[in-house]
Amino acid sequence: MREAHPIEQAVGMEYYVSDADGIGGHLRETPGDFRVTELEAFDTEPVDADTGAYPHLVFRVELRDWDTNDFASALSDRLGISRERVSWAGTKDKRAVTRQLFSVKGIDAADVPVIDDADIDVVGRAGRPILFGDLAGNAFEITVRDAEAPENAASVVADLAAFGAGEGPPDERTGSLPDGELTVGVPNYFGQQRFGSRRPVTHEVGLAIARGEWKGAVLAYVGNPSEREPEATREARAYVDETHDWAGALERLPRALGYERSICHRLVENGAATPADFRDALAAVPSNLQTLFVNAAQSYVFNRVLSARLERGLPFDRPVEGDVVAFADGDAPEGLRLPDTDRTQRVTERRLRTVERHCERGRAFVTAPLVGTETELADGEPGEIERAVLDDIGLAPADFDLPGEFDSSGTRRAVLLRTDLAVDRDSDDLTFSFSLPKGSYATVLLREFRKGDPDA
Q: Calculate the CA 124 to chain-centre distance.
A: 28
Annotated active-site residue 93? The verdict is yes
Residues 346 and 378: beta-carbon distance below 8 Å: yes
241 or 180, which is more confident? 241
pLDDT of residue 355 exceeding 70, the answer is yes
Residue 331 has pLDDT above 90, yes or no: no
Rounded mean pLDDT, 289-309:
96
Give the Å distances, CA to CA, from 281 to 266, 304, 447: 5, 30, 36
Q: What pLDDT, on the 0 to 100 scale, is given for residue 275?
A: 96
10 Å Cβ neighbour count for 73?
15
Instruction: Provide the percentage of residues in the chain whose pLDDT is more than 90.
Output: 82
Q: Does the pLDDT of residue 171 top 70, yes or no? A: no
Which is more confidently placed, 338 or 276? 276
Q: What's the whole-number mean pLDDT along residues 215-235? A: 95
Q: How far apart are CA 146 and CA 144, in angstroms?
A: 7
pLDDT at 174: 63
pLDDT band (50, 70, 90) for residue 173: low
Distance of alpha carbon 38 from alpha carbon 431, whole angstroms: 19
Q: How far apart are CA 325 and CA 87, in angstroms?
A: 31
Collect all residues with Cβ–Cβ distance below 8 Å to 342 and sequence separation of at least 6.
Answer: none
How does pLDDT run across 238-264, given as a tens digit for each residue?
A: 999 999 999 999 999 999 999 999 999
Handedness of CA 343, 348, 354, 355 (dihedral sign): positive
Q: Give the model's confidence band at 172: pLDDT under 50 very low, under 70 low, under 90 confident, else very high.
A: low
Would you give the end-to-end CA distance of the chain in angstroms? 22
pTM: 0.89
Q: How confident is the model at residue 336 (pLDDT cuts 50, 70, 90)?
A: confident
The single residue of 65, 70, 93, 424 carrying the catalytic annotation is 93
pLDDT (0 to 100) of residue 221: 97
- pLDDT(332) > 80: no
One-letter amino acid at 424 equals: D
Name the average pLDDT for the chain: 93
Residue 165 sits at φ, ψ, to 5 deg, of -95, 0
pLDDT in tens, 5-48: 999 999 999 999 999 999 999 998 999 999 999 988 889 999 99
What is the per-residue pLDDT for 371? Answer: 96
Q: At what angle do helices 202-210 and 287-312 cross, to 10 degrees?
A: 90
**Interval 374-393 mean pLDDT:** 96
- pLDDT tens profile 105-120: 999 999 999 999 999 9
pLDDT at 446 over 70: yes
Q: Which domains are present in the chain? A: 2-27+145-188+418-450 (no CATH), 48-135 (3.30.70.3160), 194-285 (1.10.1510.30), 302-414 (3.30.2350.20)
pLDDT tens digits, residue range 49-101?
999 999 999 999 999 999 898 999 999 999 999 998 999 988 887 889 999 99
